[in-house]
Amino acid sequence: MTDKRAEVEPTVLDWFSSLLRLRPIPIPELGTRPEALPPAPVEKATAPTEDLRVRVQIAQVRVPAALLLAFVAQIGLASHNRVGLFVGFYLGAALLVGWAVWAGDFGARVSSPTRRKSAVAAYDRNFLLAGVGLAVLAYLTSGDNTFRLTSLVFWIGSILITGRGFWLGELPGSKIPARVRRFLAKPQLRLRLDGWSLLVLAVFGVAAYFRFSRLAEVPLAMWSDHAEKYLDIIDIINGQTSIFFVRNAGREPMQFYATVAAIKWFGASFSFLTLKFITALAGLFTLPYMYRFGKEVGGRWTGLAAMALLGIAFWPNVISRVGLRFSFFPLLLAPALYYMVRGFKNRRQNDFVLTGIFVGLGVYGYTAARITPMVIGLALTLYLVHRVSRGHRIQSLSWIGIAALLAVVVAVPFLRVAYDLQDDVWFRTLTRVSDAERPLAGAPLELFMTNMWSALRMFAWDFGQIWILSLPGRPALDWVIGALFHFGLVLTIIRYLRSRDWVDLFLVLSIPILLLPTVLSLAFPGENPHPSRAGGAIIPVFAIAGIALASIWRWSQTNFDVQWRKRIGVGLVGGMFLVSAVTNYDMVIREYGALQRQSTWNTGQAAEVVESFTTSIGAFEDVFMIAYPHWMDSRLVALLAGQPGADIVLWPDQIDSLTEVNTPQLFMLHPEDANNLDRLRAKFPGGFTNRHVAEVDGRDFITYLVPGTDS
């Protein structure tokens, strides 16, 4: 009997044509069997035909060929030459990936197991009422933009009690006291690590090395943003416990309080290195939840691959080591997305409690985190319109309601400040989105679409001109991770078309949503793409790249004989990781480090001159830096000279009011400020001029030393 389906079996070309028509031909899941057919007559076994041998060989070639095309395409696009050719290479790679999926080269799809729980929402009314009541008190006592002891007690109590009102089962950590008692009664430490745990720890260790390697040197010098941060930290040390720091267009507080804790509780120095260490820690602590999120969307190999790539990549490394609050966005977004996805998959109410807590904490980390509720809304919408939500869609709304309530409770002090100080809290957003600071250069919709296109292509084309966080003109991802991301993007889209798993679609669509903080810079399109404002996209981007790397590993384990599987898998996957690691390390330490040294002022050298003066013949009160456009920040020079919070600036119109004093005076000038140097010479004719030569061309500075009347 002839199988009639074989007569109409679609070709690969038919399948891709159906994708272009947006009506994909259904493809059976891997592992499914066709309907039972009558048994065929038993025939004598024959040797494999030539066609079978060719098919097996093609299965071993399709994925490497797709990778090769993707690598060439990414290298070519990064050069900004012959764009059409290299886009064609990427399209060819996409076709090969689609063919490989259609042919089953990657084996069966792997994802974390689903453990469905009860879909019945539950809450403790008494706890809920008490928690909301405490939240109201926290709001009322958070006036004047200040954390007080009473407001902190009300706020923390409201979070704990509201969370307890929705928590089902045992509370986290409820077994810790019993374990401590058992340990004290019989001290015994048991540590069990299998091979997988050791592999995860090894990858985490590599990532830690990338985060902290030569942290004191890269970046080497501070810029004006850091001076503002130090002033905020000094305010906290002096007892001003602000909820939102309005200086320099407004800043969220989490980084500042973490830095003060490091200084007061752990003896950290009041230095640039401490700022960088705190933000690097935030970047490092993102990795465990990157692993868990990747594991949830694609299995443990995807989680490991995502964590590994995130650990070595240029983009997350740089935003973690500059000593600014940028790394706190992905730090808090990763657990929020992880608990949300796990909650929907397993229908666990407790996960939505945790989702809300991390969403609420995000507003204390970085401004771009204000987009997170929109990402959660996208996930809810996608979940509701897919078949998996059938039968408990109303319950899904209840879960998100729980998350929303917890997020509001956690954000209560910030919400009070956002109401009291609307101009300060929303200043940076409004000046970027609207014409509040300068007129828009075109129609808003046109600017938005242009910005979105620039942001979407930053992974393969151009990361923008923000030199403090990027290598201008270069893509956000190196050529290996960039190719893996686009490989994984095609793979994820095809996975969705086959299985209609809402999580796959969410991974893809969450990227443009998380790019909105940079895309919405309509008044300042030159700030787009902005590496830190786009920082939330790190989570889905590296999850997708992890899907690609894990799929390549599965391909190697599916299409080769036993004796070759591990060799090919380790060689290919390990080789890509090693090449990417070396490339990214060079990008961060050598290229980015050199760019920073060339682009920042040598405030450290100037501070050494000040210290030499104050420890030998003069006093700090007699040091002045003559203001000059686009030059050193005088506050940084004072800070590095051991006088945090001081400012040694002297405006040119103040020179005439100076009088000769008994003690020596030191004036510092820009090398091109000949006019003010002449004025100082005329005012104090007995002084000495010295030119201090910097290691970087164009960074010299002049000092004019006035001996003093007693000299």
Q: How far apart are the C-alpha atoms of 54 and 76, rounded to whole Å?
A: 32
Mean pLDDT by 10 residues, the chain (711 residues): 47 54 55 45 49 60 94 95 94 94 80 57 90 98 96 98 93 80 78 90 98 96 92 95 93 97 94 96 98 96 98 98 97 98 95 98 97 98 94 92 98 97 93 92 95 97 94 96 97 93 97 98 95 98 98 90 82 96 98 94 95 94 95 95 94 88 92 95 92 93 88 55
Q: Confirm whether 131 is domain-assigned.
A: no
Q: Could you tell me if 585 and 437 lie in one domain?
A: yes
Residue identified by tokens 């050298």 is 605
The reported pLDDT for the residue numbered 710 is 65
**Domain ends where: 82, 103, 124?**
103
User: In this structure, what DSSP letter does residue 259 have?
Assistant: H
SS3 of 68, please?
helix
The reported pLDDT for the residue numbered 686 is 87
Q: Could you tell me if 410 and 522 lie in one domain?
A: yes
**Model-wide pTM > 0.85:** yes
**Domain ends where: 564, 598, 632?**
598
Q: Confirm whether 374 is domain-assigned.
A: yes
The reported pLDDT for the residue numbered 569 is 87
Report helix angle 502-514 to 328-346, nearest 10. 160
Please tell me the total count of domains within the chain: 3
Q: Is 64 exposed, middle or buried (0-12, 13-18, 19+ CB in 10 A)?
A: middle
The answer to whether the beta carbons of residues 279 and 175 sit under 8 Å apart is no
The answer to whether the beta carbons of residues 481 and 496 sit under 8 Å apart is no
Q: Confirm whether 300 is domain-assigned.
A: yes
Q: Could you tell me if 538 and 639 lie in one domain?
A: no
Q: Could you tell me if 660 and 522 lie in one domain?
A: no
Helices (H), 389-471: 393-410, 412-420, 422-425, 427-433, 444-456
Q: Could you tell me if 399 and 469 lie in one domain?
A: yes
The reported pLDDT for the residue numbered 14 is 60
Q: Could you tell me if 307 and 217 lie in one domain?
A: yes
Q: Confirm whether 144 is domain-assigned.
A: no
Q: Could you tell me if 667 and 565 lie in one domain?
A: no
Q: Give the closest residue to 310 by CA, choosing from 208, 196, 199.
A: 208
The reported pLDDT for the residue numbered 178 is 78
Q: What spatial distance separates the first Cα and last Cα of the chain, rounded to whole Å? A: 114
The answer to whether the beta carbons of residues 514 and 531 sit under 8 Å apart is no
Q: Confirm whether 701 is domain-assigned.
A: yes
The reported pLDDT for the residue numbered 179 is 78
Q: Could you tell me if 539 and 619 lie in one domain?
A: no
Q: Is 118 exposed, middle or buried (0-12, 13-18, 19+ CB in 10 A)?
A: exposed
Q: Could you tell me if 204 and 334 lie in one domain?
A: yes
Rounded-to-10 torsion of CA 571, 575, 577, 581? 150
Q: Could you tell me if 335 and 454 lie in one domain?
A: yes
Q: Confirm whether 296 is domain-assigned.
A: yes
What order do you get walking across the sheet with 688-692 strand by strand? 649-650, 623-626, 665-669, 701-706, 688-692
Please state the φ and ψ torsions of residue 162, each to the nearest 5 degrees: -65, -45
User: Which two structure tokens, joined as six digits, stand for 606?
Assistant: 């100037």
419-467: per-residue pLDDT in tens?
999 999 999 999 999 999 999 989 999 999 999 999 999 999 999 999 9
User: Which two structure tokens, joined as six digits, stand for 359?
Assistant: 């969403």
**Domain ends where: 598, 622, 648?**
598
Range of the structural domain that residue 684 is part of: 603-706
Q: Could you tell me if 576 and 653 lie in one domain?
A: no
Q: How far apart are the C-alpha atoms of 467 and 453, rounded to whole Å?
A: 20
Q: How many other C-beta atoms are found inside a 10 Å radius of the C-beta of residue 628? A: 16
Distances, alpha carbon 658 to alpha carbons 287, 502, 661, 665, 667, in Å: 56, 71, 9, 11, 12
The reported pLDDT for the residue numbered 27 is 54
Q: Confirm whether 138 is domain-assigned.
A: no
Please state the φ and ψ torsions of residue 395, each to the nearest 5 degrees: -65, -35
Residue identified by tokens 């374990």 is 179
The reported pLDDT for the residue numbered 39 is 52
The reported pLDDT for the residue numbered 48 is 47
3-state SS, one letter per residue, for 126-175:
HHHHHHHHHHHHHHHCCHHHECCHHHHHHHHHHHHHHHHHHCCCCCCCCC
Q: How far apart are the C-alpha atoms of 102 and 111, rounded to whole Å?
A: 19
Distances, alpha carbon 691 to alpha carbons 166, 672, 703, in Å: 68, 11, 6
The reported pLDDT for the residue numbered 55 is 44
The reported pLDDT for the residue numbered 613 is 96
Q: Confirm whether 39 is domain-assigned.
A: no
Q: Which residues, listed in sequence order, are joined to residue 245 by a DSSP beta bridge? A: 251
User: Which two structure tokens, joined as six digits, stand for 219?
Assistant: 């970046």
Rg (C-alpha) for the chain, rounded Å, is 30
Q: Could you tell me if 567 and 608 lie in one domain?
A: no
